[in-house]
Amino acid sequence: MLEERRRKSTGSSLFARELAFVIKTYGSDTEEDSKKILELYLEGAKSLPIAVEYAEQNSKHSAVLWEMLVARCIQSGGDGSLFGALLEAAARCGADLAHLVSQIPEGMRIEGLRPRLIAAVADYRLKLKIHESASDVLSQDKVGLLRELCHRSRRGLRVVSHVEENKKAGQISISTNISNTESRRVYTEFNAMAKRRSKRHRHALSMPIR
């Protein structure tokens, strides 16, 4: 059904991209599927940069796809403009330009090849610098967030409590680590309470039993 729809809609660029996406996502990732996807990008979508990007990203069948692209550009003949566009798109994707230049047949003249390659390589280097700068900024943000998290974690009050069940006495003893200041305050209050109780017992009189 998809093949029939593709034959009827050969001029639809959007349908070609959608069909390529379906095959790429739900296909079996075979060499035949990769060739069909590349053909859809070239014939249906008529976009050489998208085809070059797909050939570079598909590491499993990359060699076969690049051979198809080079053969298509050579068979087109003409003034070599299509091969020049291939080199320019390959430079933007970070492909091996030396290998592609070695595939140029003798006698083919590509107008403006040198400035186009220089501009494409400069553009690719600029993208690499942007990526490296973004990675450095991300690393600095991570370090800053970790420092802030450590600083905030120091402000908390940590209380370590241990509950132990005393089976012999049938009671529960709770041992809590309290700071020295809190211990002194509790000790002072306990001594004051003990003194008040001792005074009351000292002044109390025994009542006679009648």
**pLDDT tens-digit profile of 150-188?**
877 776 555 555 554 444 444 444 344 444 565 566 567
pLDDT digits (tens, 9 = 90+) for 43-71: 888 888 899 999 988 888 988 999 999 88
Strands (E), 148-191: 161-166, 171-176
Break the chain into its structural domains and give their ranges: 11-111, 112-151
Structure tokens at 12: 């639809």
Per-residue confidence band for 114, with pLDDT thresholds at 50, 70 and 90: confident
pLDDT at 147 over 80: yes
Query: DSSP string spanning 77-139?
Result: -TTSHHHHHHHHHHHHHT--HHHHHHTSPTT---TTHHHHHHHHHHHHHHHHHHHHHHHHHHH
